[in-house]
Amino acid sequence: MMILSGALVVEPHQVTHSDIAIQNGKIFAIGPNLRKTNAQQVDVTGKIIMPGVIDTHVHINEPGNEEWEGFETGTYMLAAGGVTTFFDMPLNSNPPTINLPAFQLKKQLAKKKSCIDFRLWGGLVPSNLSQLHTLAENGAIGFKAFLSDSGFLPFSSVSDRILLQGMFEIAKIGKILALHAESDTITSLLAQQKIKNGACTAQDYNESRPVVAEVEAVQRALAYAKVTGCALHFVHISTPQSVEIIHHAKQCGQDVTLETCPHYLLFNDTAYDAHHVYAKCAPPLRSESLRRELIQQLVEGKIDYVASDHSPCPAYMKEVGRNNYFDVWGGVSGGQFTLLSILQIAEQYGLTLTEVARLTSQAPAERFGLKTKGKLAVGMDADFVIVEKKAFTVDKDQIFAKHKGNIYQDHTFAHRIVSTYLNGKLVFQADE
């Protein structure tokens, strides 16, 4: 048995100065002054113990593109950010997880190399409608589809007809469809016009993916979900307009949730000035006024949870497009900084530690049925992160992703991750 003592413990409905006893990978007891002969005593006085982060939106690109990010580097990076469970997206590994052989290969690699727990998304693409049931039977946590070009050739976006057919099938299976919701008609045409006119700056890229492109796709997907009865989860929502539409649909009884990402909460479209190509993502960073509205919706409880959308790539895929932002890989390498980002937002906007725990762990666990994860309570998996109130500024030596180019470099956080435990076992220790 291990007993951690002296910390603030963030339980689902309260924060208390308590001890936590861990036995056989589970939380055995939570309370004051826990003592037991022969127990390993760990003094964490002055620290904060929170449930391990559950990041449902991560791109680990193994097999095929492990030079972008593989399971070894990627999961250690996640653990350094307090993540104990991640959901790996069906791209940008090659082959993508759109059929059973590819799914089994990725699962085998993840079991062998991951230092934290994982689940795998399956993909919905035009060619694999007949594969969805088999993927679900073999453990796919849900399915991911793109309404706009994914930017990754082996993973095609879906037409409206395929989307409807896929939704009917996923509803029958009883799974959740995760959607990248941007209108391909709008974004592709605007991008073509910009490129034709030689307008290829960061601002031009942002203007090619306007708010209305996200809003239109969200509205269309919700209409199709109403027809099919399919459960929906919208990934990386970037605009307050979309949040309001999804929140209204939920109030009207639709089975729908949404996530936003830390980079939409911490940064606005001026981030290109300091971070250049490393600030490019899809959907793009928005204006300061929209960023502030999005934060207010987070505070109001209209956003279900936060996920990183960790989307890494080698430096050359970013640097190649410095003179043409349409050629730059569009993704933020951010899996290490989700919890620290939400703790910062909490301090600035008055969220409690229990609300931080809900946004980063409890809500995703409940949405996807992870019954033994997501909160600090007796009988739950002993997945937790120890945090301390100690400001630090991110430099390259503190970035554990495979490639160091990062929008979070030079950002100052008010907290730091001290250690991360999975099933009661240490998987990350700061300064070691």
3-state secondary structure the chain: CEEEEEEEEECCCCEEEEEEEEECCEEEEEECCCCCCCCEEEECCCCEEEECEEEEEECCCCCCCCCCCCHHHHHHHHHHCCEEEEEECCCCCCCCCCCHHHHHHHHHHHHHHCCCEEEECEECCCCCHHHHHHHHHCCCCCEEEECCCCCCCCCCCCCHHHHHHHHHHHHHHCCEEEEECCCHHHHHHHHHHHHHCCCCCHHHHHHCCCHHHHHHHHHHHHHHHHHHCCEEEECCCCCHHHHHHHHHHHHCCCCEEEEECHHHHHCCCCHHHHHHHHHCCCCCCCCHHHHHHHHHHHHHCCCCEECCCECCCCHHHHHCCCCCHHHCCCCECCCCCHHHHHHHHHHHHCCCHHHHHHHHHHHHHHHCCCCCCCCCCCCCECCEEEEECCCEECCHHHCCCCCCCCCCCCCEECCEEEEEEECCEEEEECCC
* Same structural domain, 203 and 333: yes
pLDDT given at position 320: 81
Residue 432's pLDDT band, with cuts at 50, 70 and 90, is confident
Tokens of 330: 């569009």
The gap between the terminal CA atoms of the chain, to the nearest Å, is: 24
pLDDT surpassing 90 at residue 160: yes
pLDDT score of 295 more than 90: yes
Q: What is the pLDDT of residue 35?
A: 80
Residue at 424 is within a domain: yes
- How many CB atoms neighbour CB 26 within 10 A? 15
Domain contains 405:
no
Same domain, 358 and 321: yes
Q: What is the pLDDT of residue 39?
A: 86
Residue 308: name the closest of 122, 52, 58 by CA: 58
Same-domain status, 108 and 7: no
Task: Provide the pLDDT for residue 285.
Answer: 98
Do residues 59 and 35 both lie within one domain? no
Confirm if 375 and 357 have CB atoms less than 8 A apart. yes
CATH code at position 121? 3.20.20.140
**Domain co-membership, 271 together with 157:** yes
pLDDT the model gives residue 30: 96
What pLDDT is recorded for position 431? 84
Place of tokens 């630090």: 392
Q: In the predicted model, is pLDDT for residue 16 greater than 90?
A: yes
User: Could you read off the pLDDT of 45-102 as tens digits, one per residue?
Assistant: 999 999 999 999 999 999 999 999 999 999 999 999 999 999 999 999 999 999 999 9
The sheet with strand 231-234 has its strands ordered as 122-123, 143-146, 176-180, 231-234, 256-260, 305-306
Residue 308 has pLDDT above 80, yes or no: yes
Tally of structural domains, the chain: 2
**How much is the pTM?**
0.97
- The reply to whether 247 and 112 lie within a common domain is yes
What is the rounded distance in angstroms from the CA atom of residue 326 to the CA atom of residue 191?
8
Per-residue confidence band for 192, with pLDDT thresholds at 50, 70 and 90: very high
State the pLDDT at residue 120: 98
* 221 domain residue, yes or no: yes
For residue 161, being part of any structural domain is answered with yes
171 with 300, same domain: the answer is yes
* Cα torsion angle, 158, 164, 167, 169, sign: negative
- Examine residue 339 and state whether it is found in any structural domain, yes or no: yes
Residue 315, pLDDT score? 93
Q: How far is Cα 86 from Cα 78, in angstroms, rounded to an integer?
A: 8
User: What separation in angstroms does the CA of 32 have from each of 92, 117, 421?
Assistant: 47, 30, 21
Asked if the structure places residue 421 within a domain, the reply is: yes
The confidence band for 324, taking pLDDT boundaries of 50, 70 and 90, is: very high
pLDDT at residue 37 greater than cutoff 80: no
Is the confidence at residue 322, as pLDDT, over 80? no
Q: Which of 129-133, 172-176, 300-304, 402-406 has the lowest mean pLDDT?
A: 402-406
Same domain (yes/no): 149, 19: no
CATH of the domain at 42: 2.30.40.10
pLDDT of residue 36: 76
Residues 209 and 328 occupy one common structural domain: yes
Copy the structure tokens of residue 361: 């762990």
Average of pLDDT values for 280-299?
98
In a domain, 406, yes or no: no
Whether residues 164 and 313 share a domain: the answer is yes
In a domain, 118, yes or no: yes
353 and 422 fall within a common domain: no
* pLDDT band with cut points at 50, 70 and 90 for residue 336: very high
- In this structure, are 390 and 320 located in the same domain? no
Model pLDDT, residue 38 = 84
Range of the domain at 416: 2-48+379-395+411-429
